[in-house]
Amino acid sequence: MKLFLTAFLFCTFLFCTRLCAEKVEILRDEYGVPHIFAATDAGVAFGSGYAQAEDRLEELMRNFRKAEGTMAEAFGEEWFRHDVSQRRWGHRHIAATHYKELGPKIRSILEAYVAGIRLFIRQHPEQSPSWAVDIQPWHPVALGRYTISRWPEGEAASDLRRAGIEPDPVPYAGSNQMLIAPKRTAMGAPIAVIDPHLSWYGETRYYEMRLYGGALQQAGGGRLGLPFPTLGHSRYCSVAMTTGGPDTSDVFEEEIKDGSYRAGPNVWKPLRKREERIGVRGKDGRIEWRSVTIESTHHGPIWAHKDGKSYSFATPYLDQFRLLEQAYAMVTARNLTEMKTALAMRQYMAQNIMAATVDGDIFYLRNGRVPIRAKGCDPSKPMPGTGACEWLGIHPIQDLVQIANPDQGYMQNNNCSPWVMMRDSPLVPERYAERPYLYNDTRRPASQRAAMTRDQLDASPRVTIEQALDFAFSPEVYKAETWQSRIREAAPDHRFAQFLSGWNRRADADSGPALGFYLFKMALGEHKGAVEPPATLTDQAIREALEKAFSLMRYEFSHHATWGTLFRVGREGAGRTFPVSGGGVTEAAMATPRNITFKAQGREMVGVGGQTQTMVVILTKPPQSFQVLPLGQSDHKNSGHFDDQAEKLFSKSKAKPTFFLNRKELEKHLTSKRDLNF
């Protein structure tokens, strides 16, 4: 009887496991992008973890190690300073310690996501590197903290420089974003352009996916190691971000003596100390363990020393851990009110955030978790740490610079001051004179990218899908017409001058004059970076630059050479490159709205950063969207998706349809289907 009961229960367990398991489908289109279908949020997160591991397992593991601050343990001395910085932040400690305080919804998503990664590793143990981490549900929380940390660090680094201290460099991140209101679009629905500009290699390389399960109905991209896209759109809203925002972080000048610091005129407190052990792998493979002491005041960790003074890094993000809760609230928001409620959590770093809704709203927020500073204190440089400049709380979202549905009917923020986001912008710095750190900018002129996009939007009363895509990939060179006029004036009969005068001012891949203009600008020496011809530039200097450019075009290239002959895109390790339009060629003041960072490789300039995941969204009901990555979805060279988007789409200034909420159309483009049980 006991044997029968045991057998019965075992069979019942197997039957229930098969019957009760949630079905998760991973459908991949012709570019290898996963479209994941499940019944619940946790189900699609499970599929997301599996798909990410299938495409980029090693990079996924590296991202988690970077967040932990354990890179040196696997990859050696060159990562030691990086690891010290992450231990100073305490990403791993904060994430692991506070994980259980997160709400049950986000914990279920994170646990399912990690379970998906683990399933792939069990099925394919040969793909897991020897240095792989034992992934835990708190790892994405640590990665989220790591992701945003460069922005507060950048703000504090600027404060240190004003004190004559040069900190470790913090990589710059730029981006484009645009919103167009229904009254200015041909389809009567908002249009969003989402265009982050980051490195195409390492932790900033985006992962593209579509999720359909529970409240998660999404198309977009995000950092590898996070369970759902953070930039893109849902059934109801779009979200975009660009670098820029209020001043959220400070540096305090500390007086330290005998293990204590001055916290007030007559108040001394002991320094807070935390020991960290960091492993450093040697060339022989052995690991040397180093002990590092992290010292802090109540302001934050000590970051620098100079002339007997110590400088602490103060940021309101140091102890935060709810970024993914906010991200989930944003991507599941159903209208502008719910989006604002999510943004009020203030977990995201200083950013220009734009959101649009299928109800027709467009919204801008100069976002950040911003301390309330004491009057008379200047947070743009190190402040005294002895009590006079203590923070007085955190500004509520209502205090931040923002606007909804502007009369102009459009907005852009290509890393510019709010006052040049649109023609006659009402967001001027004088409105925030009492708290200038909220605006944290001036009436500075728009950059080439921002000015060109603003002019394009302002001149377009009925924007079509095709126009929006052209804005996203625009290779138009701002103020190039002023150079054409000056060239004609200086050398009206010069053959090469006439060649440049007929140019359409677009750095198209197949444009010979675009390459000629670049060579001309580079031949101008000290004037090569001028957006418009300076008054000091002589006719003789122009004629000499024309001659030099003509000679280079004729003998170094060929009379058939074009912009795309020199400026290319292609993935490292693929062994091939492709001509591309546009780029952030700032050295020649040819920074087009389409931003690509180039690096010399032999005789070519090959893209290594810039447009990281470009997306155009039409917020109809349901939304339609188009998206492209600059390289490819997979890290496997034989997958067919290593550099296919570079070849077939990105180099041709094209984006593919996302088939959002259109499974019937998606199934016409499938290359694989996988069923999982969760």
| Residue 312 forms part of a structural domain | no
Name the E strands within 85-215. Answer: 174-180, 191-199, 206-213
What percent of the chain is predicted at pLDDT more than 90? 93
pLDDT, tens digit, 9 for 90 and up, residues 253-270: 999 999 999 999 889 999
DSSP codes, 274-337: EEEEEEEE-TTSPEEEEEEEEEE-SS-BEEEEETTEEEEEE-TTTT---HHHHHHHHHT--SHH
**Residue 36 pLDDT > 60:** yes
Domain count, the chain: 2
Domain at 564, CATH number: 1.10.1400.10
Q: For residues 251 and 301, what is the distance between their CA atoms, to the nearest angstrom? A: 10
Residue 5's pLDDT band, with cuts at 50, 70 and 90, is low
| CA–CA separation, 76 and 131 (whole Å) | 12
pTM for this predicted structure: 0.95
Residue 455: pLDDT over 90 = yes
pLDDT score recorded for residue 559: 78
Q: Are residues 542 and 655 both part of a single domain?
A: no
Is a pLDDT exceeding 60 seen at residue 7?
Answer: no
User: Range of 554's domain?
Assistant: 480-592
For 227-272, the DSSP string reads SS-SEEEESSEEEEEEE------EEEEE-EETTEEEEETTEEEEPE
Q: What is the mean pLDDT of the segment spanning 575-597?
A: 97
Residue 77 lies inside a defined structural domain of this protein: yes
- Is there a single domain that holds both residue 215 and residue 112? yes
Are residues 588 and 649 both part of a single domain?
A: no
**pLDDT digits over 512-536, tens only?**
999 999 999 999 999 999 999 999 9
Same domain, 654 and 581: no
Average pLDDT over residues 5-34: 72
**Position 451 in a domain:** no
Bigger pLDDT: 163 vs 386? 386
Last residue of a domain, one of 559, 592, 625: 592
Q: How far lies 194's CA from each of 67, 210, 233, 591, in Å? A: 26, 16, 10, 18
pLDDT digits (tens, 9 = 90+) for 232-244: 999 999 999 999 9
Q: Does position 172 have pLDDT exceeding 80, yes or no?
A: no
Q: Please provide the distance, in angstroms rounded to a whole number, between the alpha carbons at the two ends of the chain.
A: 33
pLDDT tops 50 at residue 15:
no
Residue 174: predicted pLDDT: 87
Same-domain status, 368 and 427: yes
Residue 427's CATH number? 3.60.20.10
419 and 489 co-located in one domain: no
Distance CA 271, CA 293 (A): 11
Which of these three, 592, 623, 650, is where a domain ends?
A: 592
How confident is residue 219, by pLDDT bands cut at 50, 70 and 90? very high
The DSSP bridge partners found for residue 219 are: 210, 233
Give burial (CB, 10 Å; 0-12/13-18/19+) of 547: middle
In a domain, 302, yes or no: no
Residue 650 is predicted with a pLDDT of 98
Residue 660 shares a structural domain with residue 545: no
Q: Are residues 544 and 618 in the same domain?
A: no
Task: Give pLDDT, residue 584.
Answer: 94
Same domain, residue pair 391 and 522: no
Model confidence pLDDT, tens digit, residues 117-163 = 999 999 999 999 999 999 999 999 999 999 999 999 999 999 999 88
Tell me if 28 sits within 8 A of 670, measured CB to CB.
Answer: yes
